[in-house]
Structure formats: structure tokens, C-alpha cells
Amino acid sequence: MSSQRTIIQTDAAPKAIGTYSQAVKVGNTVYLSGQIPLTPETMELNEGNMEAQIKQVFENLKAVAEAADGSLADIVKLNIFLTDLSHFVLVNEVMANYFNQPYPARAAVGVASLPKGVPVEMDAVMVIE
């Protein structure tokens, strides 16, 4: 028995800029693709400081989660990719404005580079009860 896949798409988050979907729902699990600090309306990079870029990523994830009939509170696993791990403390500070306990499982990974030269990208897995 195979689970039906539903493709999630919203104009409230940046359009997919490659061969992927913003998210895919299988059963009650939603796999959210990586989000970078693109502004959905213009598809341009948020040129603000690092805090503004981290907030943009969370806003993009939030929009996709809501398009899948969920919320950030439904995220069970969050992956954070940073080109400079010294920003990890700032990610924690900003994340505290978007998540409440119990927090999702999480990984933070230092990487050499990210699409469009951005300093941060995040993807997630969400379970909708």
C-alpha cells in the first residue's frame, strides 16, 4: 500500500528555483525543501543583516508549513546549514521567536557554500497530527 504524495506550493514563499517542490506531503508527514533568504514577492535575496536573513528563512518555512495546513509547531526535525558557524548563537536567538518548547530535533551544519552565495539555508520535516 503506497501513500499518496501531495505537492505543496504557495506564493507566500519563494518559488522553487530548480527541480524540486517547496514541500511534499506523504500521509501526515511533510518534507519541506530548503529555504534561503529570498523574498517571495521579488525572488530577490533579503539584503539585510544576518538576523534579517535568518528571519526571512523562518518566514519562508512558516509560509510553506501553513500551505500544508500545519505550522512551525508541527516541525519535528529542522536542519540548519550555515557558511559561518559563528552565527549559530544568532540562529538560536531568532529561533526562540518562532518556536516554543518542546523544540524540534535539530542539526546545525557548517558548509562551504550555499545556493546564490547565501549564508543560511534550512529545511524541515513536519508531522501533522
Q: Domain of 12: which CATH number?
A: 3.30.1330.40
Q: What is the DSSP letter of 119?
A: S
What's the predicted TM-score (pTM) here? Answer: 0.95
113 exposed, middle or buried (CB, 10 Å; 0-12, 13-18, 19+)? exposed
What is the CB neighbour count within 10 angstroms for residue 101? 4
pLDDT of residue 64: 98
pLDDT of residue 59: 98
The count of structural domains within the chain is 1
Residue-number span of the structural domain to which 27 is assigned:
5-127
pLDDT tens track, the chain, 129 positions:
457 999 999 999 999 988 999 999 999 999 999 999 999 999 999 989 999 999 999 999 999 999 999 999 999 999 999 999 999 999 999 999 999 999 999 999 999 999 999 999 999 999 998
What are 5's strand-pairing partners?
A: 26
Q: Which three cell numbers stand for residue 82?
A: 550555515
